[in-house]
């Protein structure tokens, strides 16, 4: 049988849920755009399970993700349940890859040990969605020149951002974007004090390793994209294209979150809603 090699330019996209709760209509909306864009280009859609937050991720939510996505009409070509050329597709099984990238950043002197703010460090595990952006880190540990071995407290590691540099990118959904390092966002956590990689590092390592050509996700991650572009550069990895989607709001204009139980896919199915009706005209995103 002839094996058709995938050219590096073939579209590869992903949906990357975190099993910290039931998926809601907002996730479905963003994921639908990701699926449509992959379909339009005859590309591959990957399902990646982002389960590094051991305290919040639960096996029942993993099961629910598969069930709810399939019910809604999603299908993917690679994922934890199907395997594929870029396996493994579950982040908790990919720790050596994150560790290697972290070591590379350390060797190049691009990260430094930081003993402040447990709270900021705790935040670093999850993608910073609307209202969850951390304050710009004041740089307390930046110039202390402390070596990890000399610091007694539990430490996290921060990426040193190039202060004042403007990070530009052309977003497929929102057009030209510009964020200033050190002003819009500061040195961010790469590795947590409890020895877990941060969202920013894991997502870059995986999107590069899985050869994503485009990342489709919610508009609340626009500023994270600027951080991630710095990481791609630091790790000498090619950055994908980005397409951010408008977020869905509830009737009070507040972004849908996992707490909006009545708009969870699970609940909508239980009350007899059909995916076709919920999707409406989404195919023309």
Interface with ligand GLU (CB under 6 A): 16-18, 50, 127, 203, 217, 221
Q: Which is nearer to ligand GLU, 95 or 151 (CB)?
A: 95
Q: What whole-number distance in Å separates Cα of residue 63 and Cα of residue 61?
A: 5
Measure the CA–CA gap between 285 and 169, rounded to whole angstroms.
21
**In whole angstroms, how close is the CB of 202 to ligand GLU at the nearest point?**
9
Minimal distance, residue 64 CB to ligand GLU, in Å: 14
Q: Which is nearer to ligand GLU, 91 or 117 (CB)?
A: 91
CB of 16 to ligand GLU, least distance (A): 4
- For the bound state, the minimum distance from the C-beta of residue 220 to ligand GLU, rounded and expressed in Å, comes to 9
Peptide bond into 180 cis (omega under 30): no
What is the smallest separation between the CB atom of 278 and ligand GLU, expressed in angstroms?
A: 20
Nearer of residues 16 and 47 to ligand GLU, judged by Cβ: 16
User: Based on CB atoms, which residue is closest to ligand GLU, 34 or 155?
Assistant: 34
Cβ neighbours of residue 70 under 8 Å, at least 6 residues apart?
none
Torsion of CA 190, 64, 46, 26, to 10 degrees: -80
Give the whole-angstrom CA distance, residue 263 versus residue 78. 27
Which lies closer to ligand GLU via its Cβ, residue 46 or residue 203? 203
The residue among 187 and 220 lying less far from ligand GLU, judged by its C-beta, is 220
Q: How far apart are the first and last CA of the chain?
A: 38
For residue 218, the minimal CB distance to ligand GLU (Å) is 7
d(CA 230, CA 164): 13
Q: Considering beta carbons, is residue 153 or 261 the nearer one to ligand GLU? A: 261
Least distance CB 57 / ligand GLU (angstroms): 10
């Amino acid at each position: 049988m002839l094996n058709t090699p995938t050219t590096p330019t073939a579209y590869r996209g992903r949906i990357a849920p975190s099993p910290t709760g039931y998926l809601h209509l907002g996730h479905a909306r963003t994921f639908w755009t990701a699926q449509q864009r992959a379909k339009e280009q005859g590309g591959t859609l990957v399902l990646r399970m982002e389960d590094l937050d051991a305290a919040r991720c639960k096996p029942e939510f993993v099961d629910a993700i598969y069930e709810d996505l399939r019910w809604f009409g999603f299908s993917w070509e690679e994922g934890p349940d199907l395997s594929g050329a870029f396996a493994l597709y579950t982040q908790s099984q990919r720790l050596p890859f994150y560790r290697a990238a972290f070591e590379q950043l350390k060797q190049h002197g691009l990260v430094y040990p930081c003993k402040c703010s447990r709270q900021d460090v705790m935040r670093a595990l999850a993608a910073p969605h609307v209202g969850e952006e951390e304050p710009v880190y004041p740089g307390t540990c930046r110039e202390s020149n402390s070596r990890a071995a000399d610091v007694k407290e539990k430490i996290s590691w921060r990426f040193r951002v190039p202060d004042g540099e403007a990070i530009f990118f052309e977003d497929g959904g929102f057009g030209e974007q510009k964020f200033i390092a050190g002003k819009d966002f500061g040195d961010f956590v790469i590795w947590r004090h409890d020895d877990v990689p941060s969202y920013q590092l894991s997502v870059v390592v995986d999107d590069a390793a899985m050869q994503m050509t485009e990342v489709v996700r919610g508009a609340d991650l626009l500023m994270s994209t600027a951080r991630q572009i710095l990481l791609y550069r630091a790790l000498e990895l090619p950055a994908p294209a980005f397409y951010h989607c408008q977020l869905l709001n509830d009737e009070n204009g507040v972004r849908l979150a996992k707490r909006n139980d009545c708009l969870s896919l699970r609940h909508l199915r239980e009350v007899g809603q059909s995916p076709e009706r919920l999707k409406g005209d989404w195919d023309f995103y």
